[in-house]
Amino acid sequence: MEPALIGVRLASAAIGPILKKLLVSGGPGAGLTGRSEKVRLSSLVSFRGEKRTLTEKDVRKLAGTLVDRSVEGPGERPFPADETEAVTDVLAATLLALGDLDMDDVQAVRLGHTALARRLRAAAPAPDGLSADSVRYLESLTEWACLHILEFFTQRSTFIARSLVEQSRGQGELIAKVDEVIRRVPRADGRDAEFERRYLTHLAKKHGRLTIYGVDLRDAPEKWPLDVAYLSLEATGGPGRTGAAAGAETGRGGAAVGEAFVGVSLVGALSADPTAPYRRGDLLDGRADRILAHHDRVLLRGAAGSGKTTLIQWLAVSATQEDPADDMAYLRGRIPFVLPLRALTRHGERLPAPERFLSAAGCPLSPPDGWADRVLAAGRGLVLVDGIDEIPEAERDRARRWLRDLLDVYDGNRWLVTSRPTAVGDDWLAADGFAELTLAPMSAAEVTTFVQRWHRAAGPAAEPYEQPLLDALRTTADVARLATSPLMCGLICALHHGRRGFLPRGRKALYDAALAMLLSRRDRERDMGTPYGIELGDAPQIQLIQRLAYWLTLNGRTTMDRAHAESVVREAVPAITEAAGYDPGTVFTHLLHRSGLLREPTADTVDFVHRTFQDYLAAKALVDHWDIGVLVRHAADDQWEDVIRMAVGHARPRECAEIFEELLKAVDEAPDRRTRLRILVVAATALDHATEVEPAIREWILARTAAVIPPHGPEEARELASVGRAVLDLLPGPEELGDEAAWGVTTTATHVTDDAALPYLARFANHAYLPVRAQLMWGWSRFDTARYAEEIIAQLDPTHLDFTIGSDEQAAEVVRLGLRPARLDLRAGLTHEGVAMLRETLERAQRLQVMGELIGLLSPFPARNELRDLTLRGRSGGESAFLRDLTRLTSLDLGSLVRLLGADWRVVAAMDGLRDLATSAGNIGSLPESLRLPQVLTLSLSHANTSVPLDDVARAFPGLRGLFLLGHGDAPLDLAPLASLPRLASVFAHGTRVTGTEHLAPTVTIHT
């Protein structure tokens, strides 16, 4: 028997009178007139004190009674019979420990029964020598006992009065503490208050607008409003280099234009202090502008342009508001000090003391003498130190000492320090109590928001270009792939605007612009100077860095030893005319820290900020050296696909022709279909990268590609889709294909995210094969919502098809087109507005699949509904309220993460028409003992290395005909308890070994 079920056997009527004997009754009042103002637990137990009514021997007898009651009745014992006496002794000692706890009744109730049980077990002797079953039994029974004991406490006449007194006393103490804080905070004189008003106004104006860097926008303003342009992104926690390395493959990079539009938000964090609020896996409120609300010292790491400086501006401006937004209210009364280190040390000055903070940062206002000291001494400061990486490496230890001196003197302020990921080592400020955060790449939704705000900030003249760019991001693979970081997203916006809505064909022009921005324009436009004394143009820097990319790609790596990287650059410097006059080691350091292309994921390794830059520069080096043999030898290697495509982009027409001819020879020599397909896909996708290709070669490649159509299976279908729009001309129509082949080509076409695919896909809308129509439904999210809905979704044969809706836009289209699907699959992405639009549709739906997080939006479910079949997925909560309206259900599938309580089970039991039920085996443990569900004919239980309480199944589901056991477990499962089910016909045990089949009726079929 599961220990968690002990409470089912020990009903309140049985356990209550026994436990009540352990406690004494109390009189009226709050219990304040005795010897102690506290009503200690020791005075509430009947086995302590001068007037005790029970002895320790009596307590042991009570414990024995509890144990005996819990093992009565049918079913297996919860622990071995020969351990009964030892179990009783341990339980008695645990109950006696109630009198030893140093707390009162109010504190005990505040703890809750689970925590109180832990305290009791910790105070009692350990149950040494007992079996695991006995230990679990004792834990469960102790929790049940504590639940009843706390219930008795709350029923005492003194408890409510005592609680009110405690509440009043706590409020009095809080008021006294607030008064003391007010007393200790120095009152600013009139000059300080007047100056602070002027200073905050100055900060709001200075930092309330963003400067545009990187790309010339002829019609855009020089500066844009911060509150219009600001966007929160995400940041992951962990040591800086770990976090930086984690972003290598996901697109985190530097940013120039992007920096003007990006803030950061917090997903989780790892603090150097294990007791601090930040721990790995913690989920706060998703906003990095609230990190200082949770921790007063933060080191924020992020690649160039990823939003560090913008976050500092946002914090400073938010602190200047008299009535900040609720989520920024923690900054009310804070005085910001914005300290960009590149400006503080531009001419080699010493880092400033507080009295020079404003003048060093270029503030034209002169504060009253001692003002900054008074602010910081009172703990009112918001100290924002931007750009540890932007001062020479030799000066960074001095900057750390400067920070430590300030921290030692001024406590209670909030501190934010920013740096590129590898400029300072792991735990660089950990000894000073700083939490470390690292910025994360942009999600698809954030890219959309970024583009919208970029165009809003650019002014009315940019508005016509917003939607075409969003369309391009959805339909043009090259553009969408690049828009994964603030750098590239901002670059694409600027290029699209600057070219009046036209982006360069292919990626080469985009990369050229990005390289120019990263290598020189950003630092030059920010007046960065030359921190390492190196001034190099774009071309020599590219020549040097592409040597590193060439070595990495040739050796199949993405990182290399720092020492080896430096040696590659040292060897190349003498041959680069513009770089030959500099020290090679200093040139390497400049490239590593200022190029924006390289970084150090660990102290002794080097890689590119994004793999795409490595591929681009490696391709350039390969074409420069004309290593065509290397390209062809790796034609089937998926890590070389982009290198080959970009090599075609770098190559001249004659060189392109030779590359394609060699690729087609490699196709002929390929040993298998998969290899031929991969090489053909690479060749076909490279066509669009070439500046000039002979028509005969283009036709030859496309004709050879037709030989691998239709694709064999989903993987080949997706591979074929990467060819792009051109493959649509090669895909056959539905009349020429069998069911599986039709599924393959629709899979390919739905992955060709080009509107040209829509007419082709529409031809399959009434296909008889359900997977084909399901694929068309899944493809909706990849295309323009309205057009796809009109041309595809509205034409679909709805027979047995689940209509998947994952956004408000899709919900709106279902309503606009008057669709009334009988089967709905609602996904994350819907909001209250979207669900509200679907209310009428929900009333008519007969089958519904829904993610658990949407239950709150669907409750209450329309009372007039025709729902017969419901599937819940993911964690939810609140099942009772949601299910109560679904009285007509015949089938209910509760995913493995859905947890049912007793109240939920009672709602399910009330569904008279329910015939099929699926849930996790763990939920059977919360099924009330008295509850029966005779209407359920088929039960599916998912489990994984957990016991399946089949005795409870047999008790609660007497009408069961079929049982599905889905999962796996190390121990065999005994089916003998199912012998009591008179109508059982079949048992499906998938992944589970079973025994006890001989106890079942011969008519029961066992499937394993």
Q: Which residue has the higher pLDDT, 436 or 211?
A: 436
Helix (H, G, I), strand (E, B), or coil: what is residue 77? coil
Reply yes or no on whether the pLDDT at 711 is more than 50. Answer: yes
CA-atom Rg of the chain in angstroms? 35
Mean local confidence (pLDDT), 426-440: 79
Residue 306: its pLDDT value, please?
A: 65
pLDDT band at 183 (very low <50, low <70, confident <90, very high): low
Residue 423: its pLDDT value, please?
A: 65
How would you class 481 by CB atoms within 10 Å of its CB: exposed for 0-12, middle for 13-18, buried for 19 or more?
middle
Q: Which residue has the higher pLDDT, 458 or 398?
A: 398
- Among 300, 378, 296, which Cα is nearest to 335's? 378
pLDDT band at 199 (very low <50, low <70, confident <90, very high): very high
Residue 507: its pLDDT value, please?
A: 65
Exposed e or buried b for every residue in 343-375, given b needs 16+ CB within 10 A?
bbbeeeeebbebeebbebbebeeebeeebbebb
With beta carbons less than 8 A apart as the criterion, state whether 386 and 338 touch: yes
Q: Which of 524-538, 872-886, 915-929 has the highest mean pLDDT?
A: 915-929
Strands 559-561 and 265-266, by their bridges, are unpaired
Distance CA 657, CA 648 (A): 9
Distance CA 488, CA 303 (A): 13
Collect all residues with Cβ–Cβ distance below 8 Å to 180 and sequence separation of at least 6: none
Residue 724: its pLDDT value, please?
A: 64
Q: What is the pLDDT of residues 122-132, one digit of tens each?
A: 888 777 778 87
Residue-by-residue DSSP string for 928-940 = -TT---TT--EEE
Phi, psi of 988 (to 5 degrees): -105, 115
Helix (H, G, I), strand (E, B), or coil: what is residue 962? strand
In angstroms, what CA-CA distances link 439 with 133, 258, 390, 442, 559? 47, 14, 18, 10, 20
Q: Which residue has the higher pLDDT, 887 or 375?
A: 375
Distance CA 939, CA 667 (A): 53
Q: In this structure, what DSSP letter does residue 519 have?
A: I
Residue 248: its pLDDT value, please?
A: 29
Q: Which residue has the higher pLDDT, 327 or 112?
A: 112
* Residue type, position 158, single letter: T
pLDDT band at 268 (very low <50, low <70, confident <90, very high): very low
Mean local confidence (pLDDT), 74-99: 84
* Residue type, position 622, single letter: L
Residue 403: its pLDDT value, please?
A: 93
Residue 166: its pLDDT value, please?
A: 67
pLDDT band at 673 (very low <50, low <70, confident <90, very high): confident
Phi, psi of 141 (to 5 degrees): -65, -35
What is the enclosing helix (H) or strand (E) of 812? helix 808-816
Phi, psi of 23 (to 5 degrees): -120, 155
Looking at every residue in the chain, the average pLDDT score rounds to 78
Collect all residues with Cβ–Cβ distance below 8 Å to 838 and sequence separation of at least 6: 805, 811, 814, 815, 824, 826
Residue 243: its pLDDT value, please?
A: 31
Residue-by-residue DSSP string for 318-343 = HHH-SS--GGGGGGTT-EEEEEEHHH
Q: Which residue has the higher pLDDT, 45 or 892?
A: 892
Between vectors from CA 640 to CA 636 and to CA 569, what angle results, nearest 5°? 145
Residue 631: its pLDDT value, please?
A: 87
What is the enclosing helix (H) or strand (E) of 891? strand 891-894
Exposed e or buried b for every residue in 591-621, given b needs 16+ CB within 10 A?
bbbbbbbbbbbbeebbbbbbbbbbbbbbbbb
Residue-by-residue DSSP string for 151-184 = HHHHHSHHHHHHHHHHHHHHHHHHHHHHHHHHHH
In angstroms, what CA-CA distances link 531 with 343, 390, 609? 12, 7, 21
Distance CA 676, CA 663 (A): 10
Residue 561 CA, distance from chain mean position: 32
Helix (H, G, I), strand (E, B), or coil: what is residue 298? strand
With beta carbons less than 8 A apart as the criterion, state whether 730 and 709 touch: yes
pLDDT band at 547 (very low <50, low <70, confident <90, very high): very high
Residue 879: its pLDDT value, please?
A: 65
Residue 702: its pLDDT value, please?
A: 78
Query: With the C-alpha atoms ordered 520, 524, 530, 534, is the resulting torsion angle positive or negative?
Result: positive
pLDDT band at 383 (very low <50, low <70, confident <90, very high): very high
pLDDT band at 980 (very low <50, low <70, confident <90, very high): very high
Residue 224: its pLDDT value, please?
A: 53
Q: Which of 102-106, 373-377, 531-535 has the highest mean pLDDT?
A: 373-377
Phi, psi of 440 (to 5 degrees): -110, 165
List the single range of 146-150, 401-405, 594-598, 873-877 with lowest mean pLDDT: 873-877
Reply yes or no on whether the pLDDT at 801 is more than 90. Answer: yes
HEC sequence for 14-66? HHHHHHHCCECCCCCCCCCCCCCCCCEHHHCECCCCCCCCCCHHHHHHHHHHH
Q: What is the pLDDT of residues 145-176, one digit of tens each?
A: 888 888 888 877 667 666 766 666 666 666 66
Distance CA 175, CA 712 (A): 74
With beta carbons less than 8 A apart as the criterion, state whether 891 and 939 touch: no
Distance CA 41, CA 100 (A): 8
Residue 336: its pLDDT value, please?
A: 95
Distance CA 793, CA 780 (A): 8
Exposed e or buried b for every residue in 119-129, given b needs 16+ CB within 10 A?
bbbebbeebee
Residue 945: its pLDDT value, please?
A: 60
Residue 286: its pLDDT value, please?
A: 41
Residue 530: its pLDDT value, please?
A: 62
Between vectors from CA 579 to CA 578 and to CA 581, what angle results, nearest 5°? 95
Residue 813 CA, distance from chain mean position: 29
Residue bearing tokens 């603030």: 486
Q: What is the pLDDT of residues 596-636, one digit of tens each?
A: 788 776 668 888 877 778 889 999 999 998 988 888 888 87
Distance CA 937, CA 962 (A): 6
With beta carbons less than 8 A apart as the criterion, state whether 775 and 747 touch: yes
Reply yes or no on whether the pLDDT at 93 is more than 50. Answer: yes
Helix (H, G, I), strand (E, B), or coil: what is residue 150? helix
With beta carbons less than 8 A apart as the criterion, state whether 840 and 866 touch: no
Reply yes or no on whether the pLDDT at 922 is more than 50. Answer: yes
Distance CA 440, CA 633 (A): 35
Distance CA 148, CA 96 (A): 16
Residue 802: its pLDDT value, please?
A: 94
Reply yes or no on whether the pLDDT at 36 is more than 50. Answer: no
With beta carbons less than 8 A apart as the criterion, state whether 389 and 423 touch: yes
Q: Which residue has the higher pLDDT, 941 or 182?
A: 941
Collect all residues with Cβ–Cβ distance below 8 Å to 974 and sequence separation of at least 6: 950, 994, 995, 996
pTM for the model: 0.43
Collect all residues with Cβ–Cβ distance below 8 Å to 311 and sequence separation of at least 6: 263, 264, 288, 289, 300, 416, 418
List the single range of 40-44, 117-121, 782-786, 805-809 with lowest mean pLDDT: 40-44
For residue 916, the tally of other CB atoms under 10 A from its CB is 17
Residue 495: its pLDDT value, please?
A: 72
Residue 855: its pLDDT value, please?
A: 78
- Among 633, 625, 658, 649, which Cα is nearest to 551's? 625
